[in-house]
Amino acid sequence: MNKDQVYAGIDVSKSSLDIAVHQNRKRWSFSNDVKGIAQAVANFVSLKPALVVLEATGGLEMPLGAALGVAGIPTAVANPRQVRDFARATGRLAKTDALDAEVIAHFAAAIHPDPRPLPEPMAQELAAIITRRRQLQQMLTAEQNRLHTAGKRVAVQIQGHIAWLEEELASVDKDLGQMVKESPVWRAKDDLLQTVPGVGPATSTSLLAGLPELGSLDRKEIAALVGVAPLNRDSGTLRGKRTIKGGRASVRTALYMPTLVATRYNPVIQAFYQRLLSLGKPKKVALTACMHKLLLILNAMLRDNASWRQLIPKTIGPCS
């Protein structure tokens, strides 16, 4: 263990967060609510620990773990049985919240469990709402197209259905906004994503639902996961060509329109797009490359917990 590295443990209960630092025996206790979580995260941002470990406590650890993840703090959730076995092996049998935090901190320093992003228990629900929104939009477009060729009686029925679909779509949008507001981690991520010119609420919520790994993977991994990483196709007449395929089509769909907008109004994406066109790249290829670049920017923003203006001065390499 590197003596300069800091390892911390947190005992999470319904009402409190008891924190211990293994190296210097610092102790803190905060309330397990929005204010207390913010205070705990602020302390860890200053402390810059190598690892923070929490026990899995039936979901009570989720808001804090998610907030630590958004802040870029390496965080692992340990199986309580592993921690108890470690406590017995080291002779730490007494049990209070403060002592439990010390044991977890010692466990973090000795065992070094791998930090992993916490799963979002609401992600499936949000993904279902996003899917329903897309279905409603498709039905609305289909009915609007039918309206142009429908007879008078059928047109009245279609107009009634269009009105109902518009109401349902508005209701779904309201649900999406409410879910983002209710989740501290989604709210923080949503705020960051929407600082990017061209990224609005619909794109942000689609990414939160369809790509929870955003910010936790490296450049190649996130591009491959979404399906915007150029793949070699060196066979026959296709030698030297590059294509994209596979991955999450719903995320690519969510990225398409903001990328198109960004080629006009986002200075970084616009410059990149124009440079590709000047090199003779077809517009479709250039737009796909811009989608790739935008994805990498969004991934870096959540990884570094940085807004658009904070990140852009840094080097974001070209997509090739």
Q: Which among 62, 171, 67 has a CA at the least distance from the CA of 122? A: 62
Domains of the chain by residue range:
7-111, 123-182, 198-311
Asked if residues 61 and 89 have their Cβ atoms less than 8 Å apart, the reply is no
- In the predicted model, residues of the chain with pLDDT beneath 70 are 1-3, 58-59, 70, 93-95, 97, 116-124, 126-127, 182-185, 229-247, 313-320
Q: Which token pair is 120?
A: 């979002």
d(CA 320, CA 318): 6
Cα–Cα distance for residue pair 298/189, rounded to 1 Å: 10
Q: How far apart are CA 87 and CA 110, in angstroms?
A: 12
Distance CA 33, CA 165 (A): 38
In the prediction, which pLDDT does 246 show?
54
Task: Provide the whole-model pTM.
Answer: 0.52
Q: Which pLDDT belongs to residue 176?
A: 75
Determine the pLDDT at residue 19.
94
Give tens-digit pLDDT for 60-90: 777 787 778 767 788 888 888 888 889 888 8
Residues contacting 68, CB < 8 A, separation 6+? 40, 41, 44, 52, 75
Work out whether the CA dihedral 252, 256, 258, 262 comes out positive or negative. Answer: positive
- Cα separation, 192 vs 290, whole angstroms: 19
- Looking at residue 38, its pLDDT comes to 83
- In the block, which residue shows the tokens 């998610």? 66
Q: 């990224």: which residue's tokens?
A: 199
Query: For residue range 189-237, what is the model confidence (pLDDT) as tens digits?
Result: 888 898 988 888 888 887 887 787 788 788 888 888 888 865 444 334 4
**pLDDT attached to residue 120:** 53
Residue 157's pLDDT is: 93
Exposure string of 212-228, with b = 16+ CB inside 10 Å and e = fewer, is: bebbbbebeebbebbeb
Q: Kindly report the CATH number that applies to the domain delimited by 7-111.
A: 3.30.420.40
pLDDT at 320: 40
